[in-house]
Amino acid sequence: MENILEIRNVSKKFVSNNREILAVDNLTFDVKYNEFLSIVGPSGCGKSTVLRMIAGLEKPTSGEILMEGRRIEGPGAERGLVFQQYTLLPWRNVLDNVAFGLEIRGVPKKERYEIARRFIKMIGMEGFEEAYPYELSGGMQQRVAIARTLANDPKVVLMDEPFAALDVQTRAILQHELLKIWEKEKKTVVFVTHSVEEAVYLSDRVIVMTARPGRIKDIIPIDLPRPRKRDSLEFIEYRKRIVNILKDEVLKSYNMYRYAKNGIGC
């Protein structure tokens, strides 16, 4: 079997202020094993909703999502989600945060600390094992959150704009690190972002979504060897192409916000 995830005719409606809003409209796509897939789209297009549905935190209103042929009914450890917001448990230090998933699954203390230390090293945070989240910068917290998800060894890593709140430099470093980890650990990654450059830099394929209700506008395979150079001609070509596809949609979503003002956060 080639596909780890199959998204079949998935739609999602939300009720807000007694009005039904169609956030995601009849989405169908597959994610291959070991693939790095990005989803880009204008804000409010439902891309986060898609990720939350794959994670099992939201149920599709219609359609179904299959993982390795089995229907997803709820959240589970095989689909790890890295949120956009900082989500470390503030009363746990870095080591215990990274080991959290393993602890839940009953891995003995010694073993889970060993694994956690390995991932803390991987994200370049050795020496911070005993630090608490409030002592860390946003970028460090996000790195720990990524380590926490990876240490739990999920088959699919879902990432919801994980670098959105970070400055450009930290972002570039983390993108680089993420690719290294992805190549080494052979994970499947579904990555939501509003940055086209980020999507082109990271992904095997980029799904471009329309403005709300979110549909698939195009799927673009990025045929560039890694590590990719952001200033290479081909890179810029890909970027332009996707930006052009997105442009109309961003305008649409902008007008939608201006005239309707009842958006759902993305």
Residues that bind other proteins (CB under 8 A): 55-57, 74-77, 79-81, 83, 85, 87, 89-91, 100-101, 103-105, 132-134, 148-149, 152, 158
**Considering the complex, what minimum distance in angstroms separates the CB of residue 52 from other proteins?**
8
For 253, counting Cβ atoms within 10 Å of its Cβ (0-12 exposed, 13-18 middle, 19+ buried), the class is buried
Nearer to other proteins, 53 or 200 (CB): 53
Q: Exposure pattern of 66-102 as b/e (b: 16+ CB <10 Å)? A: ebeeeebeeeeeebbbbbbeebbeeebbbbbbbbbbb
**Considering the complex, what minimum distance in angstroms separates the CB of residue 196 from other proteins?**
27
**Considering the complex, what minimum distance in angstroms separates the CB of residue 38 from other proteins?**
19
**Considering the complex, what minimum distance in angstroms separates the CB of residue 77 from other proteins?**
3
Distance CA 115, CA 122 (A): 11
Nearer to other proteins, 155 or 226 (CB): 155
Nearer to other proteins, 41 or 80 (CB): 80
Nearer to other proteins, 36 or 100 (CB): 100
Token readout for 51 is: 């990720």
What does DSSP assign to residue 177?
H
Distance CA 80, CA 73 (A): 15
